């Protein structure tokens, strides 16, 4: 592993709370040896731990550029800020992220934090059994038996033929490889139903809820040589593909169903309106609203960033941002009073704690109060 990759890994581990004391020392030693990565923090900050916390978090997380149109751009500052905190936490011993300090007087954010989501899912078998899948594995492979990505078995015993269901809770994500080699990534609060094996001239799965990214393998009929089509059904639409990469967002709390194509070609059909049909090309998105489609050109990265470990916002209002936070951090958000029409633009890593993710929004005039691990109050700054 290169030095850069190693330090990036240590930074990530620190942000999600899994870094060891030895790794902190390793990172601090690297920081000392590379002065170009530093920024100055006066030693006097150590006398006021709460002030230190606010200053450092501001350095780590973001600067907010407020344009005249109130499009708030998020620029994430990584290594320098993280290195500075690690150095302080090791050498000064004053910064205690998980300490039991009293809450801020203004109660903008409780010091009790919420960790990010991770690999969590259940697998329901055809005979009704439900298996809690390992959080130490990124996904499962379905073949003659069901195994984890590293080849270890998911459970002892045989798999009854029939339909299986992979479900992620809030704060969960998981991957799946189907018998034909197709790969599927499930986002949080999502559920996918699929057969134990594909038979005949059709491959079909159903996205019961949530969001999923698909990489569909081409498969030919051995007798005819024709490509076997692949269908992805949701409650309101059916997607027909031969071999391609696309993302489907079908959360119930969103206004639309969005199908975003990255490669290949797909045909999207409305389930309630057979005349609603769209053929998509790479870089296009079909938006289904009230049984009618609209197609637009998009930056596909925005809609698959979750698969690669990021929140990606492009002119997103505070409610859209919070809906994503609700699913990933397993929280419920309550709003006090109405908000302005400010729109957010930028990326935030999904492996940071909730408090750091919220710091990105504070300078936009939004206050937060974390009542407990699952309830967040959001209100405009007075």
pLDDT top residue among 364 and 319: 319
Q: How is 28-47 classified by DSSP, letter by letter?
A: HHHHHH-GGG-----GGGGG
Is pLDDT at 136 greater than 70 in this prediction? yes
Distance CA 327, CA 127 (A): 29
Q: Average pLDDT for residues 108-119, to the nearest whole number?
A: 72
pLDDT digits (tens, 9 = 90+) for 330-359: 999 999 877 777 788 888 889 888 887 887
What pTM was estimated for this model as a whole? 0.75
pLDDT top residue among 260 and 41: 260
Q: What is the pLDDT of residue 288?
A: 93
pLDDT digits (tens, 9 = 90+) for 270-329: 988 877 889 999 999 999 988 889 999 999 999 999 999 999 988 888 899 999 999 999
Q: Apex CA 148: angle with CA 143 and CA 150, to 5°? A: 110
Q: What is the pLDDT of residue 362?
A: 74
- Residues in contact with 337: Cβ distance below 8 Å, sequence separation at least 6, in sequence order: 379, 380
- CA-nearest of 267, 226, 269 to 246 is 267
**Domains defined along the chain, listed by start:** 3-91 (no CATH), 118-303 (2.60.120.1440), 310-380 (3.55.50.30)
Is pLDDT at 98 greater than 60 in this prediction? no
Q: Hey, is 114 helix, strand or coil?
A: coil
pLDDT digits (tens, 9 = 90+) for 10-37: 766 766 667 776 776 666 666 555 555 4
pLDDT digits (tens, 9 = 90+) for 233-248: 999 999 999 779 999 9
Q: Hey, is 105 helix, strand or coil?
A: coil
Phi, psi of 86 (to 5 degrees): -60, -40
**Residue 186: is it exposed, middle or buried by C-beta count within 10 angstroms (0-12/13-18/19+)?**
buried
Distance CA 15, CA 19 (A): 8
């Amino acid at each position: 592993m290169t030095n850069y990759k190693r330090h990036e890994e240590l930074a990530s581990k620190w942000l999600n709370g899994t870094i060891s004391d030895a790794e902190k020392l390793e990172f601090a030693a690297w920081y000392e040896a590379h002065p170009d990565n530093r920024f100055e923090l006066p030693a006097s900050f150590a006398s006021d731990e709460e002030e230190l916390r606010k200053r450092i978090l501001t350095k780590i997380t973001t600067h907010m550029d407020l344009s005249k149109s109130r499009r708030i751009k998020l620029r994430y500052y990584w290594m320098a800020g993280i290195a500075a905190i690690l150095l302080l936490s090791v050498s000064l011993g004053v910064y205690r992220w998980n300490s039991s300090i009293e809450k801020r007087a203004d109660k903008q954010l409780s010091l009790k934090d919420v960790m990010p989501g991770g690999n969590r899912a259940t697998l329901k078998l055809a005979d009704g059994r439900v298996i809690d899948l390992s959080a130490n594995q990124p996904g499962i492979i379905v073949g003659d038996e069901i195994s984890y990505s590293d080849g270890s078995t998911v459970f002892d015993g045989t798999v009854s033929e029939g339909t299986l269901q992979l479900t992620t809770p809030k704060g969960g994500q998981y991957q799946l490889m189907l018998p034909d080699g197709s790969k599927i990534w499930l986002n949080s609060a999502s559920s996918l139903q699929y057969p134990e094996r594909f038979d005949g001239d059709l491959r079909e799965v159903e996205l019961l809820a949530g969001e999923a990214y698909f990489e569909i393998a081409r498969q030919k009929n051995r007798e005819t040589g024709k490509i076997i089509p692949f269908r992805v059904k949701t409650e309101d639409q059916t997607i027909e593909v031969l071999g391609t990469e696309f993302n489907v967002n079908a959360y119930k709390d969103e206004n639309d169903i969005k199908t975003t194509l990255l490669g290949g070609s797909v045909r999207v059909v409305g389930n309630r309106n057979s005349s609603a049909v769209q053929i998509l090309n790479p870089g296009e998105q079909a938006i289904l609203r009230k049984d009618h489609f609209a197609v637009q050109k998009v930056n596909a990265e925005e809609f698959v960033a979750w698969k690669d470990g990021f929140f990606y916002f492009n002119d997103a209002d505070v409610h859209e941002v919070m809906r994503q936070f609700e699913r990933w951090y397993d929280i419920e958000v309550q709003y006090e009073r109405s908000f302005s029409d400010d729109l957010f633009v930028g990326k935030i890593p999904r492996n940071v704690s909730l408090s750091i993710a919220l710091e990105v929004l504070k300078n936009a005039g939004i206050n937060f109060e974390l009542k407990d691990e699952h309830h967040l109050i959001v209100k405009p700054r007075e």
